[in-house]
Structure formats: structure tokens, C-alpha cells
Structure 1
């Protein structure tokens, strides 16, 4: 009999617990289904700041939304805290403020926040963002492009970029220190045809600087090249008066590359190779040969011998 009473008590406790939980859930559902009015702060993020302007640090960080929604919607806003993204390219200039009028952007705000603004409303009529004009300046663009050509190919002119300069804007102290900017590093190998491509500017490290262009096109005309050589006599300069100097070799071979179309324009008389006796270090028995005159058309110049041995005759 005692066992039966115990079972009845256990069953009653389970039934009571079930109805307690059920009634609690129903109560919460009823309460959350009701409509409430509550003031909520919505965080604001700004995008598309005009390049010639810098917005102030003390800009508004929130807008106030008077939300008239069910408890579920209000709970969602409090938990997930959605933000409003304000596109400053759509704001108007008023003195030293950018003005974003709420009534002009109702559709965009409704889509972002997923709310019905017929029942709810944003307290502010407008968001005013103070700004300062940035200093502007045009700087050179330096190509950071490393090119290695296929055998038999080269270029007469260095790689060029267009545009060759870019306008920047930002805080005056920073802008004044910048004279040029490099492109991102680009390695091109086995090049055997004209170059024509795009490369981005390396804007890393310029956090507060705005660039009116972010990339440039690079060009270079690549042509067939051939190797030529010519034997040139070695000339020794700055020999002290009365010094009898003998040196060897008396001539060196100059190797060079030249555009195949211009090969016939290279003459032996275009070159001059000299050794400067005044540059000899004490104890040395050689001089260093240098090419001091050469045609502008040639590249990759080298000598078969740079050390010129010498003796002083007594």
C-alpha cells in the first residue's frame, strides 16, 4: 500500500512539473508576442568617405531607434545588435558637416535593419558628421617590376606606367613626407613579347592616406637583341710625369647586347676604355679597366678582362 502511495506521489510530481513548465512557456510566448515600445541604440558605420575629406573622431557612433515591435523583435535587436551602414557619398555638405538625412534614405534603412518604420521611428531627423578637408598632392609612381628576358630578347626603354603619377589626400603632415609610391612587386620571367598589363599600387603602410587611383597599366616594347663584341685599346690616364709604365694587355674585348635592328650602327670608335693610375692602391700590381664611353643603344656591357697588370720600368 505504501509503495502504491509513493508511485501516485511521483506521478503527481511529474504532472505538476509538466504543467508548470508548459504554463511558463505559454506565458513567455504570450508576453513576447505582445507589442512594446522601447528605445534602442543602433551602432553606425560609415563607408565611402569622400577622398578629399577626413571625418572627425568625435563623429556620432549610434542612432536612437524608437522600436514599436513584438517582444521577439526587440529581443533580437538587443541580442544581435544590428548596425546601420551610412554611405557618405549620399550625404550633403553643410559647412564643415556631412549631413545624412534620414527621410531621404528610409528604404535603405528599412532593408538594412529589417524593421517597419511605419510603427517605429528613428529619433534623429539627420546624422551630422563633422569633417576636415584633406591636403591633396600629386606624387610619382615608381614601377617595382623585375624583368628577365628570354634568350635573344631585351628592351631599349625601361618599363613605363600610365598614369605615371597619382593624386593623394590626407593629413597635411603625412602628405608632405610622401614624394613617390611604388607599385606592388611584380616578377616577369622569360619575357619574349611586348609587355602590357595591370599592377596595383603598394598602399600598405599608408592607413590615413587616400589614393585617387589604386592600380596602373605597365608597358614595354620588347625586341630581338643580338650580342656584339669589339676590341678596344686600353688607355692609361693620370700617369705621374717621368714614370715609365708598362702594362698588359694593351687592349680588351668589350661584349654588349644591342637591338638587332641597330646592330650596324655600333662602331668601334664609340667606345673608350681607360685605367686611372691615380686609383691604384699601395702594393697593387694591377689597374682596373673601365668603359668610360659607349653608345647609348647597347645594354649588358662587359669586358673580357678588367685587371690590367703593370710594371714600372727603372
Structure 2
């Protein structure tokens, strides 16, 4: 028989002791689970968040005082409630007539617990069997708020399949929302943004919903918008055209260098082709007058119906006075 050197305990005896201790520990765990699964009557404290549609005021507020509840709950829930390190709270949406003004308190309101008794009980769900409420009134501050209309700015990252593009600007609905908050805060906001949306390899129209990025202390009239991308297939063509001038005063004459430009334009694949002979390129005399270098941007003229996009090569031309033949 093997004996432990220092304790003078045989190996077999030591193994029995360890097994006994393990069984004792296991029994304690089972007993603890059993006891914690039972229900106990205790007092618990909660912060109450009330959502009320008071006109011109914050949509929700936390109670200044705590709601004290006497009720039954499992040992597990009681331990979680008391030692989680997070303030326990419940949310209710009382009727507006249950919210009363507090005399002498700016933005102050109160709610009688008896008026929202059922809503409070429902807010606990199956976690607590409420026996009674010790608190008789809940006090709130609903600060006054203003509102204004601001545009929605979208954040999209889009790529297209070969020979596909947008036929028009992305469309968002609505393109503006009403924001609510304190005046000092709203004065710093001139727009709201959508969360980023990435769409790759588009080859047909796309639509969906984009969420607005929340702002602390600000409420939106709606939290998301609809977007639509009109994606079409295109063909690209080119056409060499001479450069003409517009807004020329009487007696003025200009020369363009180069005198011709190459127009690249895109049109829908499934539409009637654009009549190239109706397209042209022009430069504006007024732009030439205001230019220090005599370099003017080329503009497209003629029948542009059906053209999705265009560019000129070169996009800028050098313009000279034909009489003196010098660069202005």
C-alpha cells in the first residue's frame, strides 16, 4: 500500500478523500442552483424611462426618483439585479393624460404610479411578479425642444458592371427630415447623413432602405430613407465637331486652338441613336473676356435628348482674338 510521504495517508485513502470533497462540492453546486431557482419576495429599485409625445418637448425622459417594487423573483434574477453594476430600468409609454405638470418646476412633470400600474407590471415581463409598489409618484423633466427641416445627405459607394452607369442622380425619399432637440443643439446641425451603403457591380436598377446616423440629444421625424439608383446599359460613341462661339459682340472675331474637338458621348443601349449631325461644341465669348489666360471650357450644344454623359477632348481650348491674333 502506497503512503503519502508527509501526511502519512495511503494513496487509496487519499483518493477517497478527494472523491468525497468533489462530491461535496458537486452537492453544493446542485443545492445552490436549486435554491437560486426558487422565488423570493424582495424589494427592488428601478429607474423608469417614460416615452410620451408631449408637443414641443423631449420625447422621453428618465425618472428623477427610483421606483421601489415589492415582488417575487428568482434568486438568479435578484443577484443579477443587485450585483450587475448596471442601473436597472424599465420603459413605459403612458397616455398623455397621465402626465401632469409639476407646479413651480420648469419642464417638470409627474406620473402617479396608480395611473400606470398595468403598464409597469407589463414592463417587468416574467422576471418579477409584482406584489405592490412602494413609490406613489414618478417625477420627470421633459425639456422644451424646437424643430427644423434639414436635408438628407447620402453616403453611397457604388460600382457598375461593364458598360453600365447611372441614368440620373441617385434619388432618396424623403430628401429632408424634421429634427427635434434643444435650440442650442439644432443651431449646429445643417444636415443629416445616412449610414454608408456599398453596392458593387450593378447592372440593373437598385433600391433599398438606408438608416440615418443617430445624433445624441436629437430626434428624427423618421429614422431611415428609401434610395433608388436608375442603372442602365450604355454605348459610347465619338464625333469630331468644329468649335463655334456664342455671345459674340458686333465686330468681334475669335479663333479657337484647336478649331475642332472630339466629342465622346454615352447613350442608352436600348434607345434610338442620337443624331450626330445635330451635336456641336461651343465656347462662350463672355468666359473668354473674363479669362486671364484665354483658356475656355468647351460646352456641348445641339439636341442632347438621350445623352447620358459626355466629354470633349480636349476639354479646354485656347482662344485668340482673330483681329490681332494675340492671346488676350
Q: TM-score range by the shorter chain?
A: 0.5 to 0.7
Take 2:80 and 2:314, find their aligned partners in 1: how far apart are those partners? 82
Counterpart contact for 1:82–1:113, Cα < 8 Å = no
Matches within 5 A, 1:97-176: 97=109, 99=111, 101-102=113-114, 103-105=117-119, 107-108=121-122, 114=128, 117=131, 121-176=132-187
Counterpart residue number, 1:46: 49
The alpha carbon displacement at 1:97 in A equals 2.3
- Relative to structure 1, the CA distance from residue 255 to residue 129 in structure 2 (aligned partners, 3 Å threshold; closer, same or farther) is same
Q: Residues 100 and 154 of structure 1: is their aligned pair in 2 closer, same or farther, counting only changes over 3 Å?
A: farther
Q: How does 1:1-314 map to 2 (within 5 A)?
A: 42-46=45-49, 48=51, 50=53, 53-54=57-58, 59-64=63-68, 79=83, 83-90=87-94, 92-95=98-101, 97=109, 99=111, 101-102=113-114, 103-105=117-119, 107-108=121-122, 114=128, 117=131, 121-203=132-214, 206-235=215-244, 247-274=256-283, 277-278=288-289, 281=292, 287-291=295-299, 293=301, 295=304, 297-306=306-315, 308=317, 313=325
Query: What whole-Å deviation, never above 9, does each CA across 1:77-122 have from its counterpart, x for those lacking one?
Result: 76567855232313532246252525334634765774662xxx43
Per-residue CA deviations over 1:250-269 (Å, capped at 9, x if unaligned) read 21111011223445344443
Structure 1 CA distance for aligned equivalents of residues 273 and 312 of structure 2: 20
CA distance in 1, matches of 2:181, 2:325: 69
In structure 2, the gaps of 5 or more residues are 1-40, 102-107
Query: Residues 289, 76 of structure 1: CA spacing in aligned structure 2 closer, same or farther, 3 A cutoff?
Result: closer
Indicate the SS of the match to 1:293.
strand
What is the Cα deviation at residue 222 of structure 1? 2.0
Does the aligned pair in 2 maintain the 1:270–1:293 contact within 8 Å?
yes
- What TM-score, normalized to structure 1? 0.65
TM-score normalised by length of structure 2: 0.63
Larger CA deviation: 190-199 vs 140-149: 140-149
Alpha-carbon contact 1:274-1:292 (below 8 Å) kept: no
Distance 1:280 1:126 in 2: 75
Question: How far apart are the structure 2 equivalents of 1:68 and 1:259?
Answer: 71
8 Å CA contact 1:44, 1:85 repeated in 2: yes
Taking the aligned partners of 1:304 and 1:225, their CA distance within structure 2 comes to 20
Q: Is the CA contact (8 Å cut-off) linking 2:243 and 2:280 kept in structure 1? A: no
Q: 8 Å contact 1:237–1:274 — kept in the other structure?
A: yes
Residue 183 of structure 1, CA deviation: 1.5
- Indicate if the aligned counterparts of 1:196 and 1:217 stay in contact, CA closer than 8 A: yes
More helix as a share of residues:
1
Decide whether aligned partners of structure 1 residues 191 and 75 sit closer, same or farther in structure 2, where only a CA change above 3 A counts: closer
Task: Quote how far apart the aligned CAs of 1:230 are.
Answer: 2.1
CA distance in 2, matches of 1:200, 1:137: 19
Alpha carbons of 1:235 and 1:219: their partners in 2 closer, same or farther (altered >3 Å)?
A: same
Q: Which has the larger radius of gyration?
A: 1
Q: 1:269 to 1:47 in 2, by over 3 A?
A: same
Cα 1:225–1:111 change in 2 (3 A) is closer
**How far does the alpha carbon of each residue in 1:186-224 deviate from its partner, in whole angstroms, 9 at most, with x for none?**
232321011121211122xx2011123222221123222
